[in-house]
Structure formats: structure tokens, C-alpha cells
Amino acid sequence: MPTESRPDVKPRPTSTHPLHSPDFYAGDPYPAYRELRKTTPVVWNDTTNFWALTKYEDVRFVSGHPGLFSSTKGITIPDPEQPEPVQEGNLIFTDPPRHRQLRKLINAGFTRRQVTLLEPTVRRIVADIVEGIDPSREYEFAEEIAAPLPTRMIAEMLGAPPEDWERFRTWSDAAVGTADPDIEMDSLVALGELYEYFTALIEDRRSGRVTGQDDLLSILAAAEVDGERLTDADLLNFSFLLLVAGNETTRNLIALGTAALLEHPDQLAMLRSDPSLLTCAVEEMLRYTSPVTHMARRATADVDIRGQQIKAGDTVVMLYGAANRDEEIFGPTSEQFDITRNPNPHIAFGAGEHACLGAQLARLEARVMFEVLLGAYPSIELTGDVTRLRATMVPGVKRMPVRLKASV
Ligand code: HEM
């Protein structure tokens, strides 16, 4: 029987690039991004059903309209095999006005002053890591040098004893890298253990067993805005979010940023000869490596983006890595790694309501790490290939063998 064509419904443009696949993000997605920006900037993935956006202005548009694009139904690329565990009421899964209320309360722990106060802790941890390096052996850079910093920072911020930081790592690896077969711990088991651990930390503060502390959980437990306070469930949700949001991301910024410097010796030499470029260099590392590949939203109404009809209920994925190399914003050098790029309006931390809460902390951690590491080691050499974790959102560095030498 012939089917009638419906003139009001345009066919959705698709592409052959497997934008739903962890392997795509663990490989080199940039040639595909470049092609999509040019040919099909708003493209439908018919394997797991979502729209993908590759243009900077479109990503900003979606980020800037939380009423039209909701976070409450999930924020990652859909995977029917492993549905996303949406935690209702958790900051990252809320829309305004609830999101604004929660964010106001949580901001108490993330003011510029709070982050400045963390600098001595960051310096102490970085000194510990860098002083402990033995130049006579090879290192797994991501795991042994980059990873301990964000994990220990979050552990210390939450007021957990430092001896627990290794367990934090296992939990966050399991919670983020779920598609990689090398990660053995079941993510639900990891979640269960984490919740138990955080519940104990929160109870210590609520019951008065731990008092007079200036850790984040103590600050948040006491925070009050317009007569409202965070509940134990809010604190629990938020502790979990911090671990997932702050760990792998910062570790990858440091590892992938280092890899970018090693792949561009001219840029590394420039940074070594002029350390005042460091702040600018970290921004370029964020743009060029985009450690978080995407965030997703669900359309709440029919909306047109670049001539494509997004229907209410459709999932829309913002590909930050693609947007961060958009020629229309970053010009003909958009694919190049240029540590002097200025201005650099990248959106590696997202934009709008949900823009990364830990952006200043991540920048601080990366800046101090590069300052101390490059100062102590005039030679950093990659001794094998860099391989990535199979994950759609944060395809972390799995292997990155390096050798560091104190003199060249
Ligand atoms: C290089 C490191 C990091 C990158 C690339 C990154 C990236 C992002 C992105 C893309 C978002 C979503 C923005 C949006 O939906 O518009 C986000 C949200 C968030 N990030 Fe980060 N992040 C990093 C480090 C951190 C750190 C260190 C922390 C905390 C310790 C953190 C805490 C959060 C939180 C709590 C949110 C949710 C904010 C909300 O929903 O209002 N992030 N981050």
C-alpha cells in the first residue's frame, strides 16, 4: 500500500557518524564534527534517537533557555541498554525555579572567596604529588599524577579523612566510565557504597559529632536562603554530584592538556619561556580538549533550530567539543592549539543556568599543577600512545605513559 507523504513533517537529517557510541568519543571525533558543522549542524541520530548540535550559537541557545530545554529527564546521550539514573531533585537534574533556589544555597560553598581560600590546599596537594615523583621510572600520567589532585580536593572539601581518597577514585571511575569493560565495579554497587559513606559524613555534622569545621558539607548544612535550608537528601545528592562532576573532568583537563602541550612542542616551549601565559593556556586546553563532550536536554515544546523541527519530548544533545571549534566563533585557526588565543569564549564549562559550579576550582587546580610540574621538570616525554576510556560524556584518559626528567 503506498504511504502518503505528509508535507507538514520534514524528514530528519541523519548522518553516518555513530554519535551515540562511546567509541566515537574515545577516538577522534573532530573530523566528523567539522563535517557536521558544515553539512548538517542540527542532525538526528536514529540509533538512540536524539538531535545533536554542533554549532556554538545553537549550544548557547539551548543552554540559555532552560524553560524550553529541560534537564529533569536526563542530561546524557540516550542509551537504551543502560538508562541514565536520573536523581530527582539533584541540582544538575532540576529546572528553574527550583534550580535557582538550590544553586543559591549551594553557591555559599563556591564563592570566589571560598575558592581563593582553597589555593593553599591545592598547592599542598600538588607539592605532595610532584615531590613524590621518581624520575627513574615511567608514570601513568592520568592515573598517578593528574588523578590524585581533584580526588583529594573533593575529599578534603567534603571533610572526608584523606585516607579515604583512593576509595573516592574507585567510586567515581565506576560511576562515570560505565561503558568501558576495564571498569569492573558495577556502577550501581558504587552508587550504593557512596551513598552509605556520604550519609555517615552528613550525619556526623547534623548530629553535632563533627562541629566547628569549615568544610563544604558543614557550610552547606548551615546555609540558609530566604528561610530555606538544604535537606539531608539535597546534601547527599550534591555530594554525589561533586564527586562525579569534579573528578574525571579535572583529571582529564590536566592529562589531555599535557598531551596537547606535548603534541605541540612550539606551544610548550612558549609556555615554558613565558609562564605568564599559563592562565590563557589553561583556557585553550579547555577549549581544545573539551573534557566533557556533551550535555543533553529534553525539549518541552516544538521549537525550530536552524530550520529543523525539534518536537516537544525530543532529546537535544549539545556537543561542546564541536561548538568549541566552530570556525564562525574561533576563526580559521579554530582547529589549532594556540595558548595565546585571546579572547577565548569557549563553552567547555557549559553556559547559562547550569554552567559549571566548579569552573574556578578546576582552573585553579590546573594552573597550580602546570606551574609546579613544568617548573620542576624541564622534560616530559610521552613513552607510548594515549588511549581513552570508552564513555560518551567523559571519555577519560586510560593510558598515558610518560617519563619526567629534572634536567634535559
Ligand atoms: C575541567 C573540569 C570541568 C569541566 C570541563 C566541567 C564541565 C561542566 C559542564 C559542561 C557542566 C554542565 C553545564 C551545563 O549544563 O550548561 C558542569 C556542571 C557542573 N559542574 Fe563541572 N566541570 C569541571 C569541573 C568541576 C569541578 C571541579 C566541580 C566541583 C568540584 C564541578 C561541579 C559541577 C556541578 C556541581 C555542576 C552542575 C551545575 C548545575 O547544574 O547548576 N565541575 N560542569
> Tens of pLDDT along 233-247?
889 888 888 888 998
> Over 90: is that where the pLDDT of 188 sits?
no
- pLDDT tier at 191, thresholds 50, 70, 90: confident
**Ligand 1, atom 43, residue with closest C-alpha:** 356
Complete domains list, the chain, with CATH: 22-405 (1.10.630.10)
Question: What pLDDT was estimated at residue 271?
Answer: 98
Give 316 Cα–ligand 1 centroid separation in angstroms: 19
Ligand 1 atom nearest 365 alpha carbon: 27
> Over 90: is that where the pLDDT of 99 sits?
yes
Over the stretch 4-33, which tens digit does the pLDDT of each residue have?
Answer: 445 566 899 999 999 999 999 999 999 999
Give 84 Cα–ligand 1 centroid separation in angstroms: 18
| Own/partner pairs, 144-149, CB within 8 angstroms, 24+ separation | 145/254, 145/373, 145/402, 146/251, 146/252, 146/254, 146/255, 146/258, 146/369, 146/397, 147/247, 147/251, 149/122, 149/125, 149/250, 149/251, 149/254, 149/365, 149/369
> Over 50: is that where the pLDDT of 137 sits?
yes
- pLDDT tier at 210, thresholds 50, 70, 90: confident
Ligand 1 atom nearest 353 alpha carbon: 41
Least confident range of 122-136, 212-226, 232-246, 296-310: 212-226
Looking from the CA of 65 toward its CB, the CA atoms found within 13 Å total 16
Cell 546524557 -> residue: 76
> Over 60: is that where the pLDDT of 3 sits?
no
> Over 50: is that where the pLDDT of 120 sits?
yes
Residue among 381, 382, 368, 379 nearest 406 (CA): 379
Higher pLDDT, 163 or 78: 78
What's the grid cell of residue 34? 567539522
Question: What pLDDT was estimated at residue 8?
Answer: 61
- pLDDT tier at 180, thresholds 50, 70, 90: low
C-alpha–C-alpha distance, residues 31 and 180, integer Å: 23
**Ligand 1, atom 3, residue with closest C-alpha:** 249
- pLDDT tier at 1, thresholds 50, 70, 90: very low
Over the stretch 309-326, which tens digit does the pLDDT of each residue have?
Answer: 999 999 999 999 999 999
Give the pocket of ligand 1 (CB within 6 Å).
63, 91-92, 103, 154, 241-242, 245-246, 249-250, 253, 291-292, 295, 348-352, 354-358, 361-362
Tell me how far the alpha carbon of residue 211 is from its chain's centroid: 32
Give 365 Cα–ligand 1 centroid separation in angstroms: 14
Mutate to test the pocket of ligand 1, among 249, 287, 295 (most ligand atoms within 8 A of CB): 249
Ligand 1 atom nearest 63 alpha carbon: 16
Ligand 1 atom nearest 362 alpha carbon: 27
Give the CA distances from residue 250 to residues 245, 254, 277, 358, 397, in Å, rounded to whole numbers and listed in that order: 9, 6, 20, 10, 11
Mean pLDDT of 141-167: 88
Give the CA distances from residue 372 to residues 278, 303, 383, in Å, rounded to whole numbers and listed in that order: 11, 49, 21
Give 363 Cα–ligand 1 centroid separation in angstroms: 12
Question: What pLDDT was estimated at residue 330?
Answer: 98
Mean pLDDT of 68-76: 97
Mutate to test the pocket of ligand 1, among 349, 363, 364, 370 (most ligand atoms within 8 A of CB): 349
Least confident range of 90-99, 237-246, 258-267, 295-304: 237-246
